[in-house]
Amino acid sequence: MKSKLPVIVGSIFAAYLAFVAVVVLVYEPTVDEMDWEDRQAYINGKLTEISIGQSITQIKSLMGKADFSEAKMVNESTLQVLFYRTHHTKSDGETTRDECTPLLFRDQKLISWGDASYQEYLKPIKTSVSTSSNTDI
């Protein structure tokens, strides 16, 4: 009498190999699941596809979670900066702002990106100060 165990084990192994092949061929990791090198290359490619006026939601869905963010109010408008890593500088295991490209948003809309944009964001808020002098003696 012949045992059916080798046939069963072989069938299970073949099904497992088929499952693994389907997962490997079909599965696409999200931007946030990529390793840093793939994510950096992906973000660099996506920077060529963005345009002024896109919403922050559109940018986040296209480029994934930002590495850093900052925000402030200026003249009743919200300014927000999202930083995406685009250029590796040193292998220390940490992403720093100098390895990132900043994207600047005003009231949830993209208004510019790049280092010059961030420098503009960093400028002090201009406020109008009224000066008056009383010389009543």
Q: Pick the residue with more confidence: 115 or 137?
A: 115
User: What does the pLDDT read at residue 92?
Assistant: 74
User: What does the pLDDT read at residue 125?
Assistant: 59
Q: Report the share of the chain in percent with pLDDT over 90.
A: 39
Which residues are 55's β-sheet partners? 109
Half-sphere exposure of 136 (CA within 13 A, CB side): 2
User: What does the pLDDT read at residue 21?
Assistant: 87
Tokens for 88?
Answer: 């590796």
Q: Using 50, 70 and 90 to split pLDDT, how confident is the model at 130?
A: very low
Q: Which amino acid is at 127?
A: T
Domain boundaries, the chain: 10-122
Strands, DSSP E only, in 1-137? 68-74, 77-85, 100-106, 109-113
Topology classification of domain 10-122:
Beta-lactamase Inhibitory Protein; Chain:B, domain 1 (3.30.1450)
Q: What is the mean pLDDT of residues 17-21?
A: 88
